[in-house]
Amino acid sequence: MSDVPPPGHPALAGGPVYLDYNATTPVDPRVAAAMLPHLTDFFGNPSSGHPYGAGPRQALAEARVQVAALIGARADEVVFTGSGSEADLLALRGAVIASGRSRPHVITQVTEHPAVLETCRALERLHGARLTVLPVDGDGVVVPQALAAALTHDTVLVSVMAANNETGTLQPIPELAALAHDFGALFHCDAAQAAGKIPLDVEALGVDLLTVVGHKMYAPKGAAALYVRGGVRLEPVVYGGGQEHGLRAGTENVALAVALGAAAGLAADEPTDGTAARVASLRDDLQRRLTEALPGRVHLNGPASGRLPNTLNVSIDGALGHELLASADQIAASTGPACHSGNHTPSPVLTAMGLEPARALGALRLSLGRWTTQADIETAAAALVKAAAGR
């Protein structure tokens, strides 16, 4: 998957500047081309022993290899799922139930995605788990000493995301995972926002479980995977046949698995082929333009370094984020995660970092991607400055 990327994406032509890549990405035309034959010609069941099953079975195996290569895993450690939320559920519920503990202890942190936080709360409510939710510092980082203090020999699982979806904050995953292992606990990492944007290697990270999501890296929605380190026992998320190593029964969606594999093949090169550096430069230019045009009013939320190369979260004094975006209709962006769209309350992520409600309500999440251009940045900056100037 090393073909030269197209100069523009047809879905973005003629529309507003797209700065919501952290919500979802356009499907890369190369990914769509890879999956198309599996919606038409290669229709067979991959579990079938006859020739019509052979092509889908081989395609599924190749996709598993591609996803594994992106994260430094073995192919037999990749389980395909239907979403990142499902992968998180399989990891968290699967580990807790498989532990056999009557009062298992689970640890997560306050700025996690709801897919993790709500699963942890369900484990507490339905399965008798004891839950600890760690705080974060002013940059949104989990302090390792806080995890060390929370761990006990009853802890079965720690779940901390690789990168925050709102601020781009990167967590010290290797250090946190090592602390969890000192107490015999498994470590899960939701890498939905990190995969394809920064290099990921499950061995270097020291994780036992890791979530990858297709629609965050130019594959269609409905394609995701969970890395399960060899030897880790999980309770299945769907019961029935033996598909996906017995962890997720049901005939596999080969087309979406192929799409995820193709996207992983492209993403494997992205952190090192200059794309990440180009996107980071555009992000910094956008921040500079806003800061210079609105002196003293623009505040960065999250760390200046130690964040994703594509993510800019800023608050503008005297303005509400959703009102700015409504006025700046030349751009498509968000004030926070897409799952909270339309909810004009302060972001729980930003308030957990210690931001005052007024500043949190003024926040904009501007996330760039593969097709963001310099012209897009100039248009977006001008539109936001104009919208903020009269407020």
CB 137 within 8 A of CB 352: no
Calculate what percentage of the chain has a pLDDT beyond 70.
Answer: 96
Q: Are strands 186-190 and 155-159 parallel, antiparallel or unpaired?
A: parallel
Asked whether residue 43 carries a pLDDT value surpassing 80, the answer given is yes
Averaged pLDDT for residues 71-89: 98
Between 203 and 336, name the one with better pLDDT.
203
Tens-digit pLDDT profile for residues 351-389: 999 999 999 999 999 999 999 999 999 999 999 999 999
pTM for the full model?
Answer: 0.96
Question: How confident is the model at residue 345, as a pLDDT?
Answer: 86
Average pLDDT, whole number, for the chain? 95
Q: 104 φ, ψ to 5°?
A: -65, 145
Asked whether residue 7 carries a pLDDT value surpassing 50, the answer given is yes
Q: For residue 214, what are the CA distances in angstroms to 39, 80, 83, 181, 301?
A: 17, 11, 8, 29, 27
Show the DSSP H helices in 268-320 as ranges: 275-293
Question: How confident is the model at residue 1, as a pLDDT?
Answer: 44
Burial class of 306 by CB neighbour count within 10 A (0 to 12, 13 to 18, 19+): middle
**In the block, residue with structure tokens 């005297």:** 318
User: What is the distance in angstroms between the CA of the first residue and the CA of the last residue of the chain?
Assistant: 47
Asked whether residue 2 carries a pLDDT value surpassing 80, the answer given is no
- Residue 127: pLDDT band with limits 50, 70, 90: very high
Averaged pLDDT for residues 283-301: 98
Whether 120 is catalytic is no
Residue 277 amino acid letter: A
Tens-digit pLDDT profile for residues 216-275: 999 999 999 999 999 999 999 999 999 999 999 999 999 999 999 999 999 987 666 788
Calculate what percentage of the chain has a pLDDT beyond 90.
Answer: 92
For residue 289, give both structure tokens.
């333009």
Burial class of 49 by CB neighbour count within 10 A (0 to 12, 13 to 18, 19+): exposed
Tens-digit pLDDT profile for residues 164-208: 999 999 999 999 999 999 999 999 999 999 999 999 999 999 999
Domains of the chain: 29-267 (3.40.640.10), 274-389 (3.90.1150.10)
If DSSP codes are grouped into helix, strand and coil, which group holds residue 216?
helix
**In the block, residue with structure tokens 């010609």:** 41
- Cβ neighbours for 137, distance < 8 A, ≥ 6 positions apart: 143, 353
Catalytic residue among 339, 341, 356, 357: 339
Name the β-bridge partners of 213. 224
Name the β-bridge partners of 80. 225
- Cβ neighbours for 304, distance < 8 A, ≥ 6 positions apart: none
CA dihedral for 203, 206, 207, 210, sign (positive or negative): negative
Q: 133 φ, ψ to 5°?
A: -110, 115
